[in-house]
Structure formats: structure tokens, C-alpha cells
Chains A and B, each alone.
Chain A
Amino acid sequence: MTALTVIPDGGPQASEQFEALYRSCSEDLFGYVASIVRDRAAAEDITAIAFERAYRRRALFDIHRGSPRSWLFAIARNAALDELRRRRRTGALLGDVADERAAEELEELDGDLAERRLLVREGLAALDPRDREVILLKFVGRLSNAELARVLRCSESNAGTRLHRAIERLREVCGVTR
């Protein structure tokens, strides 16, 4: 799942490693950040900020503390939550911002699929933020349980437990039966 193991501080492999990290993570990272801030413009800014910070702090990266992917997602998570804090302080409007592009995508889908996605979207919105974050990190960010634990700052077994419970709750709110 994570192709990169090391981000060297310099040398000819550095560009390849950093570009590979960017290519493998950018789309997932944007989706994860956008799910947190629910604002496309803010998500774009935060995604760019996350890569910028990762680039600046690449000398501080420690491979023993996690993979580059989990490191990058942790940076993005902090940036997204800081953005939420800023909005909270300034009293900015919170909540879903109309996304025309998402609406267009839904219109292009089949009826059943579109209905299911709407159901899941509403189920995600109804979830506890912590459960929703676990699901987004796993499903959208495609992090392993170890990487999940690194981002959430908990043990790997705790991350697996939280993930399973979050999936069960999502099923409940979506009315999905197995």
C-alpha cells in the first residue's frame, strides 16, 4: 500500500522519492482533507500546505516512527484541524459547502448507485467525528492499521478496534445489513 520507505534528505533519489510520495498520496490526501473541512477551496489550500510542510520538514522525518504516508497524513490532519480551529475562532460558517462538481458526478451515476452514495454521505455526516475520521483515513486515505495508529496516536490494536466499531456504526446509520 505504501511504496515509499525512506525520504532521503538529498541526493539524486530525493526527487524521485518525493514525487512518488506526491503521486501516491495527493488524491487520497485531498479527499481526506476535503471530508474534514467540507470546503473544496480550503481543502486545496490545506493539501498544498501539507506537501509544503512535508517538504520543509523532510530532514526531521524519522522512518522508525512511521511511513512517509502516515507522516504526510498526520501533517495534513493537523493542518485541517488548525483550519477548523481558525474558523471556529473567527466565527466562519461551518458545514457543507455546495460542491457543484460532486453534484455533477452524482448526476452521472446510475440511480441505485447515486442513491447509495447519498445514503452513505448522509450516514458519514451523522457519524461521530472520531468514527468518521477513522473511516475516512482507512477508506479514502488507504492507510494500514499501523499507519492509522500513527496518525491517530494510538496503538495498532486500538486503531483496529476503533475502525471495526466505526464500520459497524456506519452500517447502522446507513441501514445496511450483512
Chain B
Amino acid sequence: MSRDELNARALAELDALERILAREPVAEEHLELAALVDSVRGCAMKMRPEFSAELAARFEGRGRRLGAGARSSLHTSRRWLGGGRLAFAGGGAVAAAVALTILLSGGVRDALFGGGSTHGTVHTLSPSSGAAKNASRVLRSGAPSTVPHSTPSLGTPEIHQGAGVNGVGATATAPAPSAAATPGSSFAANPPRLIARGSSLTLASPPSQMQAVANQIVAATEQQGGVVEHSNVDVSGPGSYASFSLAVPSGHLGRLIATLSSLASVRALNQTTQDITSSYQGENALLARRLKALASLRTQLATAASATAAADLRKQIGAVEHRITIERATIARLRGEASNATLSVQVVPGAAAKKHAVAVSPLTRAYHDALHALQEILAIALVVLAILLPFALCGLALWWAAAGVRQRARERAMRAAH
């Protein structure tokens, strides 16, 4: 039965009851109810004066301490569960998670320190990867780590100490200057390495700018101490095309690629390195053996017993000298390969270069990195939520069930007590 369904008499009696409890006068017909209330209240136990005084001293004094800001240890522990402190702790946890995520992602670190950790690791870029658009930035900022400052001049082999990598397409790691300069260190244990480098770069430029780009490629190559070994520039409308075969001191290869990447959109970049140390050493050893054999033959020639024997020795000496010339040429070629890197540049028709890709500011980079970090945080939060939500729901259901069971047990206890 709802309150609306109560009859008017019952409603009047309930209203009268409120007035009785508020010690307000009621109609004569409700005096019986007032007497009933008085009897029920009279049946209730009254507090002993001693207990009343004790309780008053206990809680009124505590109330004053509460007002003065005093807190018991239990109070303090409860307060730690308060909403404000929970919010504060939650905010701190979120801030810590943000900081940890940023550190892990390395996004802001790259923005602050120039992304040194990623330099020299990008060897093949394609337009689909998206990284090609930023190749100029990467290579420009990465040039100091891949190209020694004391780069050798053209014709001088670049000798890398220790960390050379065999095979085409492997990572070319520049030696630490201290390792190369320290006498008696690993330099003696590890022979000098000769690294041959080759790269190919594909740029996209509007046909109208093809000639200008070609001229800038030549100028940039000469500026870096390189030469144009071969070039083919065809400026004929939409089908304009340009290709170059460049040779540049190995130490300047990175800078040149960075410069060329800023001239147009980078479609592809492929860098290869090859360790030719073993070939170089093998040729040197062969040369030494042939020089030794040549000396021996000349000694034998000086003491030849007959003209026939001398003629035969001269013939052998000629053959050895020819071999020695070939070995020296091979050695010179290997030294040339190590000292000069080759760069093949193709310029194809395409859209104009996006300026922002090459001129992005550190602030913009930091902004994008921060956005990336926030995306990672959101992803982590979703994963954590997906893990915790079932447990939280189970816990909530258990708590709700336990509270219901406890309440029913209380009701049973009340019924059983009387």
C-alpha cells in the first residue's frame, strides 16, 4: 500500500503524530495517540546520569579537539581514505604514469636532445614508411654521429677502427674517436677497417623545378668535396628526369645526403656499407709476397751461371713485376673505394617538397611527441582498465552480496531475539 492509498484517517493520525513528537498541540481525537506515545517513551530506558556525564565528556571533548584540528591516529588513517586525498594520490599516480610513459617512449627525449639515439639506424626509407619525409631532418641532425669531423680528403682512405660491419646493407657505425686515438688500446688488437659506402637517393621534384634541383645537386656535391662522375638531366615537360652518379669523400656522405634531401621530397633512400678490410689485407699480403719473390729473382739474376738462365729469370721477373703492378692497382682501387663513397641520385617528377618536413621546429616536434605520448598513455590506461574492470566488478558484486547477507543476518537476529 502506498502513501496515497492510506486513508484520510491514517494520514491525519500520522500528521498528528508528527505534531505530538514536536510537542505541538493536537486535536482531542488524537489525545489517545499522545498518551500512547508518552507511554512508549516512558517505557524506554533512561541513561544513568553517570553514563551520560561520561559520554558527554568523551564526545564533547573530542568534538572540541576536532574543531581545533587535533586528529587521532585512527582519524588520520581514515582521512587518508578521504576523497580529497584519494584524488590527490590519483593525480600523483597519473602524473607519475605520464612521466614514465614519456621516458619510455622517448618522444620528448628526442625533442630535447635531438634524437641522437636514432641516428645512423635508418638505412632504407620508403615513401610508405613516412620516414622518408623526415629523412633530411634525420640525416642532418645525425650527420655528426655518422661522419667524423676530421674527414679525410679525397683519395685518402677512411679507416674505421674496430666496429666495422661486414656485408652490404649492414649498419655503419662510426668509431669512437678516443678508441682510435689511444695508443696500445684495441687499435693494436684489431686491424684498421676499410669501409666502402654506397647510397642511392630518389627525390621527387616538380618538372618546372627539375633544372634548378639538378644545378643544386651539382653545387652541393662540389661543396662537399665530391665530383659528379655521371649525370643525365632531361628537362622536357612532365616527363623531366635527372640522374647523377656522385663520388664524395666518405666522411661527407651524410652531409651531402642531408643537403640533397632538403632540395626535394625524398621518395627513397638506400644506404649500403661493405667491409673491404679483408680484401685489402689480402692484396697487401700478396703484394708483399710478390715483392719478396721479385727480390729473390733479382738476386738469382745477379748470380746467373748462363745466359739462358739469365734470360729465363728476366722473363720471370717481368711476369712478377706485371703482377705487382696489378696488385698495386687493386690496392689503390680498394683504398679509393674506402675513401670515396658513391651516391646515386635520381630525381623524378613529383609533388613539391613539404617545407615543414625539413624545417620543423623543436617545439613542433615536442608537441607531436607529447601527443604521441598521450596516445600511448591512453592505450595503457585502456589496457589497465580492461584488466581491472572485471576484478572491480567481481569485488563490487561480492561486497554487495556480503552486505545483503549481513543485513539479512541482522534482521534474523532481531526476530530471533524476541
Contact = CB atoms under 8 A, between A and B. Distances in A.
Interface of A: 1, 9-16, 18-19, 22, 26-27, 30-32, 34-37, 40, 43-44, 47-48, 51, 55-57, 59, 78, 81-82, 84-85, 87-88, 94, 99, 101-102, 105, 113, 116-117, 119-121, 124-125, 129-130, 132-133, 135-136, 138-140, 142, 144-145, 153, 156-158, 160-161, 163-164, 167, 170-171, 174, 176, 178
B229 interface: no
B78 A14 contact: no
Nearest to B40: A139
Interface string B49-65: 00110011011101111
A136 B44 contact: yes
B45 A43 contact: yes
B44 A81 contact: no
17 contacts: A15-B68, A22-B60, A30-B46, A36-B414, A36-B417, A37-B417, A40-B45, A44-B51, A81-B410, A84-B417, A85-B410, A117-B43, A120-B43, A121-B43, A129-B415, A160-B3, A171-B36
A138 B36 CA distance: 12
Given A18-B66, A36-B414, A47 B46 contact: no
B130 interface: no
Given A55-B59, A157-B4, 9 more contacts: A12-B67, A19-B60, A44-B48, A129-B417, A130-B414, A139-B37, A139-B40, A171-B36, A176-B32
Nearest to B66: A14
Nearest to B60: A19
B282 interface: no
A101 B46 CA distance: 8
A161 B3 contact: yes
A131 B36 CA distance: 15
Nearest to A119: B39
Interface in B67-81: 67-69, 74-75, 78-79, 81
Nearest to B33: A167
Q: Is chain B's binding surface mostly helix, strand, loop or mixed? A: helix
B14 A14 contact: no
Contacts of B411: 81
A117 B39 contact: yes
A7 to B, nearest CB: 10
Nearest to B21: A142
Contacts of A176: 32, 36
Interface string B405-417: 0010111011111
Given A22-B56, A48-B55, A161-B1, A139 B41 contact: yes
A34 B44 CA distance: 7
Contact of A30 (B4, B37, B47): B47
Nearest to A140: B44
Contacts of A163: 14, 17
Given A43-B45, A164-B10, A85 B409 contact: yes
B418 A132 contact: yes
B413 A81 contact: yes
Given A78-B410, A142-B21, A157-B4, A167 B59 contact: no
A30 B45 contact: yes
Contact of A56 (B29, B64, B65, B75): B75
B42 A26 contact: no
B31 to A, nearest CB: 10
Contacts of B410: 78, 81-82, 84-85
Contacts of B413: 81-82, 84-85, 88
B45 A10 contact: no
Nearest to A142: B21
A177 B158 CA distance: 119
Contact of B3 (A120, A121, A157): A157
B94 interface: no
A88 B417 contact: yes
Nearest to A34: B45
Contacts of B17: 138, 163, 167
Interface string B352-380: 00000000000000000000000000000
Given A1-B22, A10-B69, A124 B43 contact: yes
Nearest to B83: A59
B319 interface: no
Given A9-B82, A125-B418, A160-B3, A27 B47 contact: yes
A59 B78 contact: yes
B234 interface: no
A156 B32 CA distance: 25
B103 interface: no
A31 B41 contact: yes
B56 A161 contact: no
B14 A26 contact: no
B169 to A, nearest CB: 66
A156 B55 CA distance: 32
Contact of B63 (A22, A116, A145): A22
Contact of A164 (B14, B22, B47, B63): B14
B306 interface: no
Contacts of B37: 139
Nearest to B68: A15
B409 to A, nearest CB: 6
B312 interface: no
A47 B74 CA distance: 19
Contact of B41 (A16, A132, A140, A171): A140
